[in-house]
Amino acid sequence: MMKRTIFSDEHEFFRSEFRRFAEAELLPHAEGWNQAGISDRSAWRKMGQAGFLGANQPEEYGGAGGDFLFDAIIMEELADLRIHALQASLHTDICLPYLTEFANEEQKQRWLVPAIAGECLLAIAMTEPSTGSDLASIATKAIRDGDDYVLNGSKTFISCGQNADLVIVVCKTDPDCDPPHDGTSLILVEAGTPGFVKGRNLKKLGLKGQDTSEMSFSDCRVPVENLLGTEGRGFKMLMEKLQQERLCIGIASIASCRRSLQDTLDYVKERRAFGQPIGAFQNTQFKLAELATQIEIGQAFVDKLLVAHVAGEDIVSEVSMAKWWNTELQKKVASECLQLFGGYGFMDEYPISRDYADAAVQTIYAGSNEIMKVIIAKRLGLG
CA dihedral 88, 41, 190, 358 (to 10 degrees): 40
Residue 190 is among the residues annotated as catalytic for this protein? no
d(CA 229, CA 242): 17
The Cβ of residue 191 has, within 10 Å, a number of other Cβ atoms equal to: 16
Residue 91 DSSP code: I
Cis-peptide, bond into residue 28, ω within 30° of zero:
no
Catalytic residue among 76, 128, 231, 245: 245
d(CA 333, CA 344): 16
d(CA 141, CA 172): 5
Query: What's the chain's Rg over C-alpha atoms?
Result: 21
d(CA 129, CA 131): 6
Reduced to 3 states, what is the DSSP secondary structure of residue 216?
Answer: strand
d(CA 116, CA 51): 8
d(CA 373, CA 363): 12
Alpha carbon 97 to its chain centroid, in Å, reads 13
d(CA 319, CA 305): 7
Q: Which residues are catalytic?
A: 245
